[in-house]
Amino acid sequence: MQTTTLRRAGIAAVATAALVVPLAQATGTEQPTGARAPAVGETGRSIIHGQVVDSRTARPLDGVEVTALRVTKREETVAATDLSYASPDNEIDHGYFAMHVPAGTYAVVLARAGYRPTRLEVVKGRADRAGLGAPVELVALPRPSVTLSSTAGKGGLTVRAGRRVELVAQLRGKRGSVPTGPVSIALDGPGRGVAATTVLRRRDRGRLVAQLGRVRTPGRYDVDVDYAGDDAHRATSGTFTLRVVKKKG
């Protein structure tokens, strides 16, 4: 999990890029995009608010779970939660989040499927409405590759009608990482539909063998492999074609 610390002094140092209290009415100057505090739910309390984006593409991310944990010497307790969303009122099209909190020290955790969770430390004074500064970046998890073969013959994706179909799915992570978690293989074609699901463990080394029974009708069958992802890998899928040919003679 990545950890980034944002203290009040650090926020002041990036004030030109920060999300701050509205000043346009008092100064007549144009504010940077996303510079307004929340336009609804005014409570007089402090606000933790900002924008979350993909670290590689800078694309704003909606649906990120944002949790503010109030930190004391003894414990961390949930003070507020939000999901990032589009906020035209705050001049942020997407990826915006806002949480009203009392003054104090907070750990802000941002999490979304397919990304590494990120944790920020934020200190809020009384009625502190300043934003987090630059957008919070989430790093996408790597997506493993998927290959499929058959145990029949030389391991290709052609089998004879009437034979049992046994398929081998191989998932490979980058830099030798081992994908774990749920994987399903579904076969669909002329007169036949079947699926198998299992959970990959580290000892499987990303290899899944699925026994799908006998396929008696010749033709082309679609085989879908769906991987749900884990803490180190993004979800991924692959679609392959299995050819079932007539028996000899």
* pLDDT tens track for 32-86: 333 344 444 455 689 999 999 999 999 999 999 999 999 999 999 999 999 999 8
Task: Give the tens place of pLDDT for each residue, 89-135.
Answer: 767 779 999 999 999 999 999 999 999 999 999 999 988 988 888 89
CA distance 118 to 107: 10
Please tell me the predicted confidence (pLDDT) of residue 153.
53
Q: Is the pLDDT of residue 8 over 70?
A: no
Please tell me the predicted confidence (pLDDT) of residue 43.
52
Task: Give the tens place of pLDDT for each residue, 186-244.
Answer: 999 886 788 888 999 999 999 999 888 888 899 999 999 999 999 999 999 999 999 99
CA distance 197 to 144: 18
Q: Is the pLDDT of residue 173 over 70?
A: yes
Which whole-number Å values give the CA distances from 145 to 55, 169, 175, 178, in the listed order? 22, 10, 12, 11
CA distance 162 to 224: 21
Torsional sign, CA 92, 97, 100, 102? negative
Q: What is the pTM of this model?
A: 0.68
Angle of CA points 187, 193, 194, to nearest 5° = 65
Query: Residue 51 is encoded by which pair of tokens?
Result: 């924008």
The neighbouring-strand residues paired with 207 are 170
- The answer to whether residues 235 and 141 touch, using CB atoms and an 8 Å cutoff, is no
